[in-house]
């Protein structure tokens, strides 16, 4: 931890601050460096209890924590491949998560997943709950879709991913899906993060639009804090009021991998929101060193109740999968 004194702080006050800090962080080694203090703190529990008090000390300009202090659990965890059924997130593999924005009816969903599996999907989207900006927009078919998921599981060995928007959905979804998705709107839903931290299922954690790297990684830290280390980060881009010129933060995605060593994918659909830009941006994403992509694709984008405008057709997805395979050879 680095602490900076306010400008022109009296030497007497600096001394008092050092004494206060020594009391708050009993096992810390404190050394002075010009207008800064460098604190090597051994006891992490001391730090979490003392931080607010340190920041409130009169005469301190700012307190800066190291990554190890900010994300102690992320920092401690060992990077390891994440196996989900027959699919493995690892440095070697590049996985494609594909499927419709929402499951709408049984026949089109089963047709969609059969075709996407053939076209190269590794994991299938199976969304039942759709958090929407307007209460008047289609909200997903919710629990009524569970029987479609049960049917789908008889037809494919691929893992299924679904978004959970409320801890009360957990019981119904738990035995039917292989990965829980935390959507952009719920990255800051701390009760949901805690609940999923206690679950024995992999979690795909999207970055909320506009969220900083720190907020995103601390959301992952919440999940780790309850014992679940099966986390996949998902960059889904920012959005602007017009929702057309937001964009993928490649820089933040790479920084997130660098600090966390967690698998990370990019949601190329919600970050792009226009079908014609998906293929070029997917190809760009495929070569920067991430672990996969999420792509919305279905047999009937033109009649979809949500996000049809950027949902790829099966042949569009097939081309994307083939182009990416070629790029990564
Ligand atoms: C989704 O993936 O279905 C979704 C709603 O995305 P986001 O949370 O990124 O908006
Ligand atoms: Mn969508």
Nearest residue (CA) to ligand 1, atom 4:
183
Q: Which of 181, 209, 243, 293 to mutate to test the pocket of ligand 1 (most atoms within 8 A of CB)?
A: 181
The closest-lying atom of ligand 1 relative to the alpha carbon of residue 185 is 8
Query: Which residue, among 170, 177, 213, 159, has the nearest Cα to 193 in the 3D structure?
Result: 170
Task: Give the N- to C-terminal CA distance of the chain in Å, as an integer.
Answer: 44
Ligand nearest, relative to CA of residue 269: 2
- pLDDT the model gives residue 241: 60
- pLDDT the model gives residue 12: 96
- pLDDT the model gives residue 44: 77
- pLDDT the model gives residue 223: 98
Do 68 and 221 touch, CB atoms closer than 8 A? no
pTM of the entire structure?
0.95
Residues with CB under 6 A from ligand 1: 101, 127, 163, 183-185, 206, 236, 267, 270
The closest-lying atom of ligand 1 relative to the alpha carbon of residue 234 is 9
Q: Tell how far the Cα of 307 is from the centroid of ligand 2, in angstroms.
A: 5
Ligand nearest, relative to CA of residue 139: 1
- In this structure, are strands 123-125 and 82-84 parallel, antiparallel, or unpaired? unpaired
Q: Which of 239, 267, 305 to mutate to test the pocket of ligand 1 (most atoms within 8 A of CB)?
A: 267
Q: Tell how far the Cα of 296 is from the centroid of ligand 2, in angstroms.
A: 7
- pLDDT tens digits, the chain, 329 residues: what are they? 999 999 999 999 999 999 999 999 998 999 999 999 999 987 777 788 899 999 999 999 999 999 999 999 999 999 999 999 999 999 999 999 999 999 999 999 999 999 999 999 999 999 999 999 999 999 999 999 999 999 999 999 999 999 999 999 999 999 999 999 999 999 999 999 999 999 999 999 999 999 999 999 999 999 999 999 999 999 999 976 666 677 899 999 999 999 999 999 999 999 998 999 999 999 999 999 999 999 999 999 999 999 999 999 999 999 999 999 999 98
3-state secondary structure the chain: CEEEECCCCCHHHHHHHHHHHHHHCCCCEEEEECCEEEEECCCHHHHHHHHHHHHCCCCEEEEECCHHHHCHHHHHCCCCCEEECCEEECCCCCEEEEECCCCCCHHHHHHHHHHHHHHCCCEEECCCCCCCCCCCCCCCCHHHHHHHHHHHHHHCCCCEEEECCCHHHHHHHHCCCCEEEECHHHCCCHHHHHHHHCCCCCEEEECCCCCCHHHHHHHHHHHHHCCCCCEEEEECCECCCCCCCCECCHHHHHHHHHHHCCCEEEECCCCCCCHHHHHHHHHHHHCCCCCEEEEEECCCHHHCCCCCCCCECHHHHHHHHHHHHHHCC
Ligand nearest, relative to CA of residue 131: 1
How far is Cα 125 from Cα 275, in angstroms, rounded to an integer?
18
- pLDDT the model gives residue 242: 63
Nearest residue (CA) to ligand 1, atom 10:
184
């Amino acid at each position: 931890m680095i602490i900076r004194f306010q400008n022109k702080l009296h030497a007497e006050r600096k001394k008092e601050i050092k004494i206060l800090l020594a009391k708050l962080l009993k096992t810390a080694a404190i050394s002075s460096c010009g207008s800064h203090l460098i604190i090597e703190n051994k006891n992490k529990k001391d730090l979490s209890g003392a931080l607010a008090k340190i920041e409130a000390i009169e005469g301190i300009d700012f307190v800066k924590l190291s990554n190890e202090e900010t994300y102690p659990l992320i920092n401690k965890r060992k990077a390891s491949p994440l196996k989900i059924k027959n699919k493995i997130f690892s440095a070697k593999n590049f996985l494609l998560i594909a499927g419709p924005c929402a499951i709408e009816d049984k026949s089109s969903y089963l047709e969609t997943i059969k075709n996407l599996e053939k076209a190269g999907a590794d994991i299938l989207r199976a969304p039942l709950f759709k958090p929407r900006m307007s209460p008047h927009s289609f909200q997903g078919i919710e629990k009524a879709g569970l029987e479609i998921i049960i049917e789908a599981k008889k037809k494919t060995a691929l893992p299924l991913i679904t978004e959970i928007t409320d801890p009360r959905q957990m019981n119904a979804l738990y035995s039917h899906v292989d990965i829980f998705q935390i959507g952009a709107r719920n990255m800051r839903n701390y009760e949901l993060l805690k609940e999923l931290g206690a679950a024995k299922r992999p979690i795909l954690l999207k970055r909320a639009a506009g969220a900083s790297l720190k907020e995103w990684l601390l959301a992952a830290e919440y999940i780790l804090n309850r014992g679940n280390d099966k986390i996949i980060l998902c960059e889904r881009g920012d959005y602007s009021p017009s929702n057309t010129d937001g964009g993928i933060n490649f820089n933040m995605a790479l920084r997130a991998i660098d600090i966390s060593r967690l698998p990370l994918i990019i949601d190329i659909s919600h970050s792009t929101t226009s079908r014609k830009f998906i293929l070029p941006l997917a190809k760009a994403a495929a070569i920067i060193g991430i672990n996969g992509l999420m792509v919305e694709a279905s047999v009937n984008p033109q009649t979809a109740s949500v996000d049809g405008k950027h949902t790829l057709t099966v042949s569009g997805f097939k081309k994307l999968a083939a182009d990416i395979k070629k790029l990564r050879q």
